[in-house]
Structure 1
Amino acid sequence: MAPKTPPDEVAAAYNVWADVYDTQANATRDLDARTLQGQDPSLFQGDVLEIGCGTGKNTEWLAPRARGLLALDGSAEMLKRARERPGVERVQFLQHDLREPWPARNASHDTLTCNLVLEHIEDLAFVFSEASRVLRRGGFFFVCELHPFRQLQGKQAHFVNPETGSIQNVRSYLHDVSDYLKAALDAGLVLVRAQDCRDDGAPRTAAPRLLAMLWQKS
């Protein structure tokens, strides 16, 4: 029998965060949305799988552009808010632990998006393997994550807990750029482009906030 995945403390934290996720100041959240929306729109015209959709900040933008959209998240409370967004009536939302095999058939999607998720998943190899499995040949995997340089400065996902008023950190794992490259290469994905994303007006010497990468299944 395969070992059971331990309870997801990340999902539990996001259940608490859900009430204030869209209203508390969050430069990382906002830059991620701008980065996704700055991609070539043709990437999102087919069957799209969004892993880690959260409150639907990106789902709402993807929904009218995609032929079909499946959105997964481990947090029931985040999904509750995502379902309330305008224009998402055709989106299929599912609660799912992303560390377990994804509820999608082999070669069933043209594009995958993964935004501000992999910081919370230790096993990158599993994620990239699943991405390769569900992608059609020639399909794309778009990843936008907290930059490893920021992580090395001690930054991680956090929020003001609305119940206690204190800062709550969310369980995170440090992934070097080389970790992403190896996981993707082992899964048969080819890097199309990479982008270091800084805050608007930040000097060139500032550590990038986000790392965005686009991979293709050969």
Structure 2
Amino acid sequence: PVEGTVRFIRHDLSQPLPLPTAAFDRVLCCLVLDHIKDVQSLFAEMKRILRPAGHAVISVMHPAMMLRGVQARFIDPHTGLETRPESCPNLVSDYVMGAIRAGLRIRHLSEHTVDASLAARSPRAAKYLDWPILLVMCVRPEGDSTTA
């Protein structure tokens, strides 16, 4: 492929990724892990496709949101139909230990809350003031000696 292009694939993430081993410098996994029961297997696949000095950035809806009854939902702009993909009640420790057991080293872990500034800009977010809504991780293959 031409540099700078993106190729999208549709794939069942409970199955191994149809991608070559050690082929990627970066993996980006956004708002997916809260829909995966076996997070360790997906982390293992991230490790497999990463080059030794590569890293993966993962964002996921914070598990605390499920305590508030919040789950992902999407509205089809063409039909107006609402879709609620199945959510899995993973804990922060499930993500941390899943990455570690898959042979990844956690380089960064942060929890992001709704602050007053966000609540002022988004009335929908205001009801979650001071609650963690997002968990972000950056991981690298274990044994990589490069710094952050």
TM-score band w.r.t. shorter chain: 0.7 to 0.9
Q: Give TM-score scaled by structure 1 length.
A: 0.54
**Match of residue 47 from structure 2:** 132
Q: Give TM-score scaled by structure 2 length.
A: 0.77
Amino acid corresponding to residue 91 of structure 2 in structure 1 = D
Where do 1:141-160 residues align within 5 Å? 141-160=56-75
Q: 1:5-41 deviations in whole A, cap 9, x for unaligned?
A: xxxxxxxxxxxxxxxxxxxxxxxxxxxxxxxxxxxxx
Q: Is the contact between residue 73 and residue 82 of structure 2 (CA under 8 Å) also seen in structure 1?
A: yes
Amino acid corresponding to residue 84 of structure 2 in structure 1 = N
**Match of residue 19 from structure 1:** none
Where do 1:1-218 residues align within 5 Å? 67=3, 90-160=5-75, 167-199=82-114, 201-202=117-118, 206-218=130-142
Q: Which runs of 5+ in 2 are unaligned?
A: 120-128, 143-148
Give the structure, 1 or 2, with the largest relative contact order (CA under 8 Å, sep 6 or more): 2
Give the paired residue count. Answer: 132
Distance 1:92 1:189 in 2: 25
Root mean square deviation, CA, Å: 2.5
Structure 1's 167 and 215: CA in aligned 2 closer, same or farther, altered over 3 A? same
Distance 1:95 1:179 in 2: 25
The alignment partner of 2:132 has SS state of: coil
The Cα shift of 1:161 comes to 5.6
Q: 1:28-57 deviations in whole A, cap 9, x for unaligned?
A: xxxxxxxxxxxxxxxxxxxxxxxxxxxxxx
Q: Which runs of 5+ in 1 are unaligned?
A: 1-66, 69-89
Q: Share of identical aligned residues, percent?
A: 36
Structure 1's 160 and 96: CA in aligned 2 closer, same or farther, altered over 3 A? closer
The Cα shift of 1:158 comes to 1.2
Distance 1:95 1:185 in 2: 27
The alignment partner of 2:64 has SS state of: helix
The Cα shift of 1:196 comes to 1.4
The Cα shift of 1:208 comes to 1.6
Q: 1:184-214 deviations in whole A, cap 9, x for unaligned?
A: 11111111111212345258x6112110111
